[in-house]
Amino acid sequence: MEYVYAALMLHKLEKEVNEANVTSVVKATGAEVNEAQVKALVASLADVNIEEAIKAAPVAVAAAAPAADAPAEGGDDKKEKKAEPPSEKQEEAAMEGLSSLFG
């Protein structure tokens, strides 16, 4: 997972997502680098438009979290609203978005 995070960070900073840069980012975190995983990630991202993949990724799961922090409506009723767990369809959509990162 740290390799994907490294690639996303490099993309956000408008740096090239290549083996040397991903390796540098992972090393900077103190994690041990697996060169085979770095090569596999960079190869799978070669033909992927990361910006489009991010836009296509579902955000419904993240949008449910703020509802738990919102004050309960209805005046004196101070019961907390709890966020519902994501449905199967939301989870499937999230996995499809993630799989698009890897071609």
Note the pLDDT of residue 48: 86
d(CA 66, CA 45): 32
Q: Rounded distance, CA 61 to CA 59, Å?
A: 5
Better pLDDT: 91 or 25: 25
pLDDT per position as a tens digit, 72-81: 555 555 555 5
Query: What percent of the chain clears pLDDT 70, i.e. is strictly above it?
Result: 60
> Domains plus CATH for the chain?
1-46 (1.10.10.1410), 49-103 (no CATH)
Residue 32: pLDDT band with limits 50, 70, 90: very high
pLDDT at residue number 42: 92
pLDDT at 30: 92
Flag whether pLDDT at 96 surpasses 70: no
